[in-house]
């Protein structure tokens, strides 16, 4: 069976993002007859000359009425090479939180840019989000190339602009493709109308990206979701004394016989068994959901982390992090919140706000509050030690939520120790560097 790639799309209003997604679905033959018939009927009712593929993803009434995308829509398609989960994220500036949502799990972000408009504030914001969230790959679809007469110069100008911003932000891996989402040029097939572009089509790129992460190269971590101890409730009397620690392996590999450490207690023990339902495994690796049996009945409960005995992270109470603030009311120093990391939720105090990212020049500037959609650095004090890791080293071990304890709302996406670039601009690279692009 092929691999699964998670992609998120982002772009500004009217860049044609829904059209691009519709085109990808349509041209990979992932749209079924009844869905297409519904789109054609609605398009006809509205007096459009052709089927509006954006209607495939704009599922909500308000979206159809306003011709915009409001919320993240998830779509599924497959080619002979692999399957895709696509998070289609809206481009409105006030909906940045949805782009953060879509990017947090993405292997690749496909960013739409209108070739006539070039890099806009939202483009910078989306690239900043992709860089901060450490999305491994970014593909920029330079759209509406048909509206500039398939001009190579127009594409090169936007391409150079994107590369500059990506360098400023530290986006690792970025490449641009000239496309027409409306007509399908360079989406699935390479377009004959852009003979000056020798690179692959968008789908070819998506099919060839390597799947993320090799568990064998990471350290083992597993947040404990629950302790399974059926006692008298066991359906089978043989399991009355069963005691297992259930969770999803966040990183690395664990084998029967491995020495592990429970955090934050620091107590050590050995793995004696690994269960996945009724099957016994010799090893488990990220991201499998399993249940571990241990040699000693040490005190481990929900929220603890079981880690490889060597190099386990130090539980800490003071955390410096970058947060995307998603709450309606601003974050101010002294505010009390809940922090959820792995399966642990602890009380947290926002001690200081250490800066906010100015998206115009990409500098961190002093601020005394973070408003909705701001990205800034904060220092938090936690009520109990938590074994956080640097987000740069581990997406799973370094990510957390901030939650409003009163109404339960998620108000921030946090990344431990993630750095804000401060506008140091490296030398520009050649726009012809497409062929050297690493995948």
Partner 1 sequence: MSATTTLPTRDRPAEPPRPDRRTQSDAPGTGASRRAPEAGSAAYASARRLTQLDLLESESILVIREVATELERPALLFSGGKDSVVLLHLAAKAFWPAPLPFPALHVDTGHNFPEVLDFRDATVERLGLRLEVARVQDYLDDGRLRERADGTRNPLQTQPLLDAIAHHRFDGVFGGARRDEEKARAKERVVSLRDEFGQWDPKNQRPELWNLFNPRHRPGEHVRVFPLSNWTELDVWRYIEREEIELPSLYYAHEREVFRRDGMWLADGPHSRPRAGEVFETRRLSYRTVGDMSCTGAVESSAATVADVVLEVAASTLTERGATRADDRISEAAMEDRKKEGYF
Return the residues of window 134-193 that contact partner 1 according to CB under 8 A: 182-184
Question: Of the candidates 47, 149, 192, 277, which one interacts with partner 1 according to CB under 8 A?
Answer: 277
317 contacts partner 1 (rule: CB under 8 A): no
Burial tier of 278 (Cβ tally within 10 Å: 0-12, 13-18, 19+): exposed
Q: Report whether 371 contacts 330 (CB < 8 A).
A: yes
For the CB of residue 364, give the shortest distance to partner 1 in the complex, in Å.
22
Query: Which structure tokens are listed for 120?
Result: 């806009």
Question: Would you say 289 or 429 has its CB closer to partner 1?
Answer: 289
4-63 residues in contact with partner 1 (CB under 8 A) are 4, 26, 29-36, 38-40, 42, 50-51, 53, 57, 59-62
For the CB of residue 425, give the shortest distance to partner 1 in the complex, in Å.
30
Question: Of the candidates 8, 20, 73, 171, which one interacts with partner 1 according to CB under 8 A?
Answer: 73
Question: Of the candidates 151, 248, 352, 379, which one interacts with partner 1 according to CB under 8 A?
Answer: 248
- Kindly indicate which of the ranges 108-116, 242-250, 264-272, 375-383 contains the residues binding partner 1, using the contact rule CB under 8 A: 242-250
Q: Report whether 161 contacts 123 (CB < 8 A).
A: no
Question: Of the candidates 13, 67, 71, 199, which one interacts with partner 1 according to CB under 8 A?
Answer: 71
Q: Report whether 207 contacts 82 (CB < 8 A).
A: yes
Rg of the chain's alpha carbons, rounded to an integer?
A: 24
Beta-bridged to residue 248, according to DSSP, are: 289
Question: Of the candidates 93, 160, 167, 226, which one interacts with partner 1 according to CB under 8 A?
Answer: 226
Residues in the interface with partner 1 (CB under 8 A) total 100
Query: Which structure tokens are listed for 131?
Result: 């860089």
Rounded Cα–Cα distance for residues 261 and 305 (Å): 8
- The closest alpha carbon to 218, from 178, 182, 171, 251, belongs to 251
Question: Of the candidates 12, 194, 291, 335, which one interacts with partner 1 according to CB under 8 A?
Answer: 291
Q: What residues contact residue 218 under an 8 Å CB cut-off, 6+ apart?
A: 251, 252, 253, 286, 394
Rounded Cα–Cα distance for residues 195 and 399 (Å): 44
For the CB of residue 96, give the shortest distance to partner 1 in the complex, in Å.
10
247 contacts partner 1 (rule: CB under 8 A): yes
427 contacts partner 1 (rule: CB under 8 A): no
Burial tier of 64 (Cβ tally within 10 Å: 0-12, 13-18, 19+): middle
For the CB of residue 135, give the shortest distance to partner 1 in the complex, in Å.
12
- Kindly indicate which of the ranges 94-102, 191-199, 315-323, 354-362 contains the residues binding partner 1, using the contact rule CB under 8 A: 94-102
371 contacts partner 1 (rule: CB under 8 A): no
């Amino acid at each position: 069976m092929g691999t699964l790639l998670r992609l998120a799309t982002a772009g500004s209003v009217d860049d044609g993002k829904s059209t691009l997604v519709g085109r990808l679905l349509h041209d990979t033959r992932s749209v079924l007859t009844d869905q297409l018939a519904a789109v054609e009927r609605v398009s006809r009712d509205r007096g459009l000359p052709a089927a509006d593929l954006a209607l495939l993803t704009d599922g909500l009434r308000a979206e159809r009425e306003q011709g915009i995308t409001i919320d993240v829509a998830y779509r599924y398609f497959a080619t002979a090479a692999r399957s895709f989960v696509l998070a289609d994220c809206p481009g409105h500036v006030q909906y940045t939180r949805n782009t953060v949502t879509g990017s947090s799990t993405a292997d690749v972000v496909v960013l739409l840019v209108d070739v006539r408009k070039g890099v806009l504030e939202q483009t910078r914001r989306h690239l900043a989000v992709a860089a901060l969230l450490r999305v491994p790959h970014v593909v920029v679809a330079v759209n509406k190339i048909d509206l500039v007469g398939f001009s190579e110069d127009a594409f090169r100008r936007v391409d150079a602009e994107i590369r500059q911003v990506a360098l400023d932000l530290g986006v690792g891996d970025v490449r641009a493709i000239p496309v027409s989402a409306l007509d399908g040029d360079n989406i699935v097939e390479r377009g004959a109308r852009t003979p000056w572009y020798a690179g692959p089509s968008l789908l070819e790129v998506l099919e060839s990206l390597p799947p993320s992460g090799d568990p064998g190269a990471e350290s083992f971590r597993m947040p404990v979701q629950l302790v399974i101890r059926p006692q008298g409730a066991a359906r089978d009397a043989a399991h009355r004394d069963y005691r297992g620690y259930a969770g999803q392996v966040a990183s690395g590999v664990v084998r029967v016989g491995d020495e592990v450490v429970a955090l934050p207690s620091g107590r050590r023990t050995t793995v004696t068994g690994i269960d996945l339902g009724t099957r016994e495994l010799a090893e488990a690796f990220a991201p499998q959901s399993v249940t571990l049996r241990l040699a000693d009945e040490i005190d481990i409960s929900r929220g603890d982390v079981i880690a490889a005995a060597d190099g386990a992270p130090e539980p800490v109470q003071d955390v410096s992090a970058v947060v995307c603030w998603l709450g309606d009311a601003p974050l101010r120093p002294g505010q009390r919140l809940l922090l959820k990391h792995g399966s642990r939720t602890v009380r947290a105090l926002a001690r200081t706000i250490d800066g906010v990212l100015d998206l115009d020049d990409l500098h961190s500037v002093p601020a005394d509050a973070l408003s909705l959609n701001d990205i800034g650095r904060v220092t938090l004090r936690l009520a109990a030690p938590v074994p956080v890791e640097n987000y740069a080293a581990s997406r799973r071990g370094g990510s957390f939520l901030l939650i409003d304890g009163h109404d339960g709302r998620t108000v921030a996406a946090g990344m431990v120790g993630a750095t804000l670039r401060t506008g140091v601009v490296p030398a520009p690279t050649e726009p012809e560097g497409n062929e050297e692009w690493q995948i």
